[in-house]
Amino acid sequence: MEKIKTGILVLCFGLLLAGCNPNLGNTACPKQDCPVPQEKALVSLYSSNWGENIDNSNKNLFKYTIYNYGLVEAKNVSVKCYVEDNGKIDGETEQISNLASSSMSFKEMDVKRSSYDQNALGMCYIVSCGSDCIILDDRIPENIKYKK
């Protein structure tokens, strides 16, 4: 009986030690040889407001803030702003300058104005960015329906 208790105790102690060793069971990738995932820019856009440009009544003025949460610069970022009114969509796409890592930028965009009623919806979103970039808004299903 004493040998069984000793055996169980040794087995438990061995399992405890094995659980404390982070490399046990992961011999294919020791800590010093593990590949490091490539860092990417993580961009998001917040539309703050839009309306008729008081300096040019033929244009709508959109104001938005674009964020880069990543640790690398976001390159080749394109933004589209549009007005949707009763199924009719008027908008323009603009290539903005690169966005530095861990930064934000306030932007304005002029878009050709057409007639619309009080219920028109104005939106801006990120169309694309470079290959080293992830558009965070694309990961939220509710946001995808506003891309026109």
What pLDDT score does 140 carry? 81
What is the CB-side half-sphere exposure of residue 50 using CA atoms within 13 A? Answer: 23
What pLDDT score does 74 carry? 95
What is the CB-side half-sphere exposure of residue 4 using CA atoms within 13 A? Answer: 1
68 within domain boundaries? yes
The domain tally of the chain equals 2
Q: Which residue has the tokens 């219920």?
A: 119
- Global confidence as pTM: 0.71
State whether 89 and 126 are in the same domain: yes
Mean pLDDT across the stretch 17-43?
A: 68
Phi first, then psi, for residue 37 (nearest 5°) are -65, 145
State whether 116 and 98 are in the same domain: yes
Mean pLDDT across the stretch 115-137?
A: 87
H or E element that contains 141: helix 141-144
36 within domain boundaries? no
- Running DSSP on this structure, what letter comes out for residue 72? S
- Closest C-alpha to 138, from 40, 42, 68: 42
Kindly indicate the confidence band of residue 22, based on its pLDDT and cuts at 50, 70 and 90: low
Mean pLDDT across the stretch 49-60?
A: 89
How do 133-135 and 41-52 pair as beta strands?
A: parallel
Q: Give residue-wise pLDDT tens across range 77-91.
A: 999 999 888 878 888
What pLDDT score does 5 carry? 57
3-state SS, residue 10: helix
Range of the domain at 95: 41-144
